[in-house]
Each structure stands twice: as structure tokens, then as C-alpha cells.
Amino acid sequence: MPVMRLGYARLRVEDLEAAKRHYAETLGMRVTAEGGGRIQLKGWDEFDHHSVQLEEGGAGLAGLGYKCQSADDLALYEDRARAFGVTVERMSKGDHVAVGDGLRVTLPSEQTIELYCEMEYVGTDVGLLNPEIRPRHTRGVDVPRLDHAAITAPEPADVERFFCEVLGFRASERLVSDPGEAKLLASWLYCGQTMHDIAVLPGPPGKLSHIAFWVEDWHAILNAGDIFAMDGTPVEVGPSRHGIGRALTSYFFDPSGNRNEVQTGSYRTYADTPTVTWTADQLAKGVFYIQREFSEGFLTGVT
């Protein structure tokens, strides 16, 4: 069965309290646990224990957790990962707060991904019996859920191949140097029905471009921007649209410089959705459809 979703991102942050203010007050996530130099948080509409884990010290990506459907699936992925030739380790229940047994895989681009099928259930603010459509009182941007991550790789094609061959992801969109030639520059890969659950962008190994939270609609993108202005959150790119994936978006930074995104819109994918190809000469329009330009730092800035 397909991998279910990006379950969590583990981020390194310089100042735990400053990071907590950002994720809990500005983004409005719920703190579900803290201690030992770590804080776990979830979006209001997420059932599992957490989708973000802040880890004191530095900046950047400590790991991405993808939740799978069963132990059988984990076993299959383990076999395939070993055959693929990447480093695979067993992860034990309790290695991470609230997370069950699983695998720890080092991608060809050196980031760590963790595959698991159990996380402590917390539930949402609205419950499961005659629920309201959302919590009565909003908290900052009030992000409902984590959506995807974007990592960088010196050779995106290797990472794309890993996600497709080992984990059964598919590419919704691909950026190539030119249409006739096969040099892959970037790939957007999905395991569910969104346009992507992971993006692989060109860049150094081991690095994070951004993690993205899903928000309701275009109005929510504006509301997020207004909150960022009032909270003094650095905004890299204001309300905008991607040509690639059609998504509505805004980019901003947590206090340690880890890039965040709020995203909505985009389209629904299926197992038979044909792959879209972008060519490098149309990159600016692909990245920011309306402005058709972006700063150099948007590509090179990673943590």
C-alpha cells in the first residue's frame, strides 16, 4: 500500500523558546509535549501526537517521518531500501517521543527519513462526535496540518528514484534542463492525492529547503501574511502562486532561519495522473507564476 503522508518534521532550532513562540503562537500549533530540549507540536486538525518536533541546537533538518500503513509495508520498504543501496537502520519505539517502531533511512542526498506506522493518538480539538467544523477560537495562522517538505540534493534524479522505486511515490511534475534531454533538475513527488509529499530541489546534500503547512484557501494565505506582519515574522515571499503545482503560497522563516511555507490550492493527483514537465527556461514562471521572478536566495537559502 502507498505511504500515507509526511507525518512529522524534526527541526533543529537555536532558541527553543523563540521557536516555540513561532510555531505555537504565530502558526498556532498545539504543544503536545516538551522536555529534554525538545518540543512536539501538532496542527489543530491532526490526530497524531505531533507533526513538528523542535530540537534544541543549530538549525536545519534532523529528520522527516513518513507514516506508513502497516508493519508489512515497513518490511517491504526495508528490503527495497537495502536493495537500492542506501543505509537503513531499525528505529525502536521510544527513540522518538510517541513514535513506534520503524526504519531510519539515509537518502542518497544524506537527509534522514524515518518510516513508521504507529504514533500515539491525540485527536483534534473538535472530537469525533457531532464535531464543529473548526475550533471556536483561532490561534494565529492556525495551521490545520503539515503538508510536505522540500529537500535539496546534488543529484535530484537519485533521490527521485529512491522515492519511486523504494516507497512507491510518483512524480507529478519535473523540471528538466530542456524537454529533449533527460537531465533532471527538480522533482515533485506524491504518495497520496496531493500534488506532492516531498520535493527534491537542486542544492547541497543534507539540507532542507522548507517544510510546508496546508491552509484552507487563498484567504488563509492573506491572513497568514497579516499575522506575520503583526508578529514580525520575516517573510521571504508574500502571497503568490506557483506555476509548478498551481499552489497558492507564502514563504517565511522561523527564528532559526528554517524556511516555512503555507500552501493551498494545487490539484488532486491519482495513480494515473500524467507527469507535467517544466523546462529550465520557464523556471521563473514555474516557481512564481504571477511575478515570474525570484531572488537568488530563494534557491540557495537552505538550512
Query: In this complex, which beta carbon is closest to its own copies, that of residue 15 or of residue 178?
Result: 178
Q: Which of 74, 78, 102 is nearest to 90 (CA)?
A: 102
Q: Which stretch binds its own copies (CB under 8 A): 105-113, 132-140, 149-157, 158-166?
A: 132-140
Which listed residue (49, 114, 210, 289) is catalytic?
Answer: 210
Q: Is 242 a catalytic residue?
A: yes
Residue 196 annotated to the active site: yes
As given in the structure block, the three cell numbers for residue 127 are 472530537
**Per the residue annotation, which of 190, 261, 270, 289 is the catalytic one?**
261
- Distance of alpha carbon 247 from alpha carbon 255, whole angstroms: 25
* First CA to last CA distance, the chain: 32
Q: Which of 57, 154, 182, 267 binds its own copies (CB under 8 A)?
A: 267
For its own copies, the binding residue among 276, 287, 302, 303 (CB under 8 A) is: 276
Radius of gyration of the chain (CA): 18
65 binds its own copies (CB under 8 A): no
The candidate with the shortest Cα–Cα distance to 250, out of 242, 241, 239, 234, is 239
- Alpha-carbon gap, residue 280 to 118, rounded angstroms: 40
Told to check if 163 binds its own copies by CB under 8 A, we report no
- Dist. CA 46–CA 147, nearest whole Å: 11
Give the relative orientation of helices 156-167 and 71-84 as an angle to the nearest 10 degrees: 140
Q: How far is the CB of 252 from its own copies (least distance, A)?
A: 9
148 is catalytic: yes
Identify which of residues 23 and 251 has a Cβ nearer to its own copies in the complex: 251
Which of these segments, 32-40, 51-59, 94-102, 232-240, binds its own copies (CB under 8 A)?
232-240
Q: In the complex with its own copies, which residue's Cβ is closer, 55 or 73?
A: 73
Answer for which of 91, 150, 288, 302 binds its own copies (CB under 8 A) is 288
> Partners of 153 in the beta sheet?
202
Active site residue 137: no
| Catalytic residue (one of 22, 50, 96, 148) | 148
Q: Which residue has the cell 519511486?
A: 164
Measure the CA–CA gap between 165 and 169, rounded to whole angstroms. Answer: 8
**Cell numbers describing residue 140:** 494565529
Half-sphere exposure of 219 (CA within 13 A, CB side): 1
**Is 239 a residue that touches its own copies (CB under 8 A)?**
yes
- Residue 151 CA to residue 166 CA, distance in Å, equals 18
According to CB under 8 A, which one of 286, 287, 302, 303 is a site residue for its own copies?
286
131 interacts with its own copies by CB under 8 A = yes
Please indicate whether residue 96 is annotated as part of the active site: no
Q: Is 251 an annotated catalytic residue?
A: yes
Which of 49, 114, 196, 289 is the catalytic position?
A: 196
> Contact 171/160 with Cβ under 8 angstroms?
yes
Collapsing DSSP states into helix, strand and coil, what is residue 112? strand
Min dist CB 136 to its own copies, Å, is 5
Which residues form the interface with its own copies (CB under 8 A)? 1-2, 4-5, 45, 47, 67, 69, 121, 123, 128-134, 136, 138, 144-145, 179, 192-194, 214, 216-219, 222, 225-231, 235, 237-241, 243, 246, 248, 250, 265, 267-268, 270-279, 282, 285-286, 288-292
Catalytic machinery residues: 148, 196, 210, 242, 251, 261
